[in-house]
């Protein structure tokens, strides 16, 4: 039996109090990253705050907040970049804060991201603690903080906001709070196109819950048991640290149905509105994305991008790095499957990975597009939770320094597209 499979007495402290150590660790990592960015930017005569709030996608969000939808840029090659590609929840929040506080739209976006990143860290802790216990929850949060592109969590981008909504929606599913899960999934669907991953998690978990319930009713002598809403039994799977959280309580059918109906409302509402506004029908949003040369091709364009790296020796190293990175993601996902993660997490992570890796454009964006797939970090968090605290702390501190340096180098160079 591994250390992680050893039962511990449940804490009677509220969740927010149990999450405090993880949140303090997360804040320390982010503070280090921002400090290194400020020093690096000042040495290059740049403003770190401008890099965080007034470059790349953050400019598109603040334009939506200030001017609404309808702004577009026509490129010399004929492509049309429309701000309809950007989902509305972050601009709405920027507009709200601008209206009630003496903040510019850029300031408001930065504040939303800072608060949302803390909410995301708390949500990641809640999910990981529910499945594996508080020690794994602590390291899951730190691993999310020290991702190489973790600096994006502090930018006026929508990744932190989306991750917060997704994590808490998944936690609501794991604890049987179906209506809350549906509402949070709807808000996630108003934040990024990958909100479809949260909707898929809610729907798959809901369908499985009804199928199992019906099967139990047909089985003579069957009795209802509390269950994780969508956990799939894998009796023959090898067992890296097995989930040991208490199962979610039973929820009435009407709550499950309502949660499932609410989940797609945000994404569907925005996509249908874009179709109506553009006059191109329900699939008008796909035309907007096509103007950015972005679409879903099953990974063909990305495979060609990686293959092109092998035309010369220096770039071949980058190609090998990309292949290794994708292989690591797949291995971590398979490890989660074999480790019997709840199906909610597996469905969500699988959809996020598929949408990020199989998009046909903006290959440099893929690391930050993968950032919401936090459940893929759980096997690594389990591994860090096993050694002595001093060893795990040393590894995490080294990763934090590396991430801070890389983040400063990245934003002062090509930066996120």
Q: What residue ranges do the domains of the chain occupy?
A: 14-234+246-411
**pLDDT of 381 above 50:** yes
pLDDT in tens, 103-150: 999 999 999 999 999 999 999 999 999 999 999 999 999 999 999 999
Per the listing, tokens 């290794």 go with 324
Is 160 within 8 Å of 153 (Cβ atoms)?
A: yes
pLDDT score for 76: 87
Mean pLDDT value across residues 82-89: 96
Q: Which helix (H) or strand (E) holds 109?
A: helix 105-132
- Point out the least confidently predicted range of 169-173, 241-245, 310-314: 241-245
Pairwise CA distance, residues 85 & 63, whole Å: 13
> What pTM value is reported for the model?
0.90
Is 344 within 8 Å of 173 (Cβ atoms)?
A: yes
The pLDDT confidence band at residue 249, using thresholds 50, 70 and 90, is low
**pLDDT of 51 above 70:** yes
Pairwise CA distance, residues 129 & 390, whole Å: 21
pLDDT score for 337: 94
The pLDDT confidence band at residue 3, using thresholds 50, 70 and 90, is very low
How open is the CA angle 253-163-49, to the nearest 5 degrees? 155
Is 174 within 8 Å of 130 (Cβ atoms)?
A: yes
Of 86, 85, 87, 110, the C-alpha closest to 97 is: 110
Pairwise CA distance, residues 141 & 128, whole Å: 9
Q: What is the overall mean pLDDT for the chain?
A: 88
Is 213 exposed, middle or buried, given 0-12, 13-18 or 19+ CB atoms closer than 10 A?
Answer: middle
pLDDT in tens, 88-97: 999 999 999 9
């Amino acid at each position: 039996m591994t250390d992680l499979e050893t039962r511990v007495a449940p804490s009677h402290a509220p969740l927010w109090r149990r999450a405090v150590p993880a949140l303090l660790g997360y804040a320390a990592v982010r503070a280090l990253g921002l400090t290194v960015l400020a020093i690096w930017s000042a040495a290059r005569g740049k403003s770190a705050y401008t890099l965080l709030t007034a470059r790349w996608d953050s400019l598109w969000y603040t334009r939506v907040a200030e001017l609404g939808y309808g702004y577009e840029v026509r490129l010399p090659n004929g492509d049309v970049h429309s701000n309809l590609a950007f989902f509305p929840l972050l601009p709405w929040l920027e507009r709200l804060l601008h209206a009630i506080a003496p903040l510019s739209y850029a300031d408001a976006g930065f504040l939303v991201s800072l608060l949302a990143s803390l909410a995301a860290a708390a949500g990641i802790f809640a999910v990981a603690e529910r499945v594996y216990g508080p020690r794994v929850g602590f390291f899951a949060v730190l691993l999310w903080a020290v991702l190489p592109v973790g600096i994006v969590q502090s930018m006026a981008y929508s990744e932190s906001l989306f991750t917060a909504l997704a994590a808490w929606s998944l936690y609501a599913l794991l604890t049987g709070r179906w209506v809350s899960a549906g509402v949070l999934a709807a808000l996630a669907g108003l934040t990024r196109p990958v909100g479809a991953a949260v909707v898929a998690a809610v729907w798959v978990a809901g369908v499985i819950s009804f199928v199992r319930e019906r099967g139990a009713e047909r089985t003579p002598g069957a009795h209802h048991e509390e269950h994780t809403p969508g956990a799939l039994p894998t009796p023959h799977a090898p067992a890296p640290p097995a989930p040991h959280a208490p199962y979610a309580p039973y929820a009435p059918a009407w709550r499950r149905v309502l949660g499932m109906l609410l989940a797609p409302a945000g994404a569907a509402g925005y996509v249908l509105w874009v179709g109506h506004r553009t006059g191109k029908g329900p699939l008008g949003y796909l035309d907007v994305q096509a103007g950015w040369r972005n679409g879903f091709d099953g990974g063909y364009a990305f495979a060609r991008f990686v293959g092109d790296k092998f035309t010369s020796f220096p770039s071949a190293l980058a190609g090998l790095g990309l292949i290794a990175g994708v292989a690591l993601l797949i291995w971590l996902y398979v490890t989660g499957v074999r480790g019997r993660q709840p199906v909610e997490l597996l469905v969500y992570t699988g959809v996020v990975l598929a949408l990020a890796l199989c998009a046909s454009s903006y290959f440099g964006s893929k690391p930050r597009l993968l950032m919401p797939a936090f459940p893929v970090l759980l096997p690594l968090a389990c591994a860090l939770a096993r050694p002595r605290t001093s060893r795990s702390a040393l590894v995490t501190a080294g990763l934090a320094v590396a991430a801070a340096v890389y983040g400063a180098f990245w934003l002062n160079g090509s930066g996120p597209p």
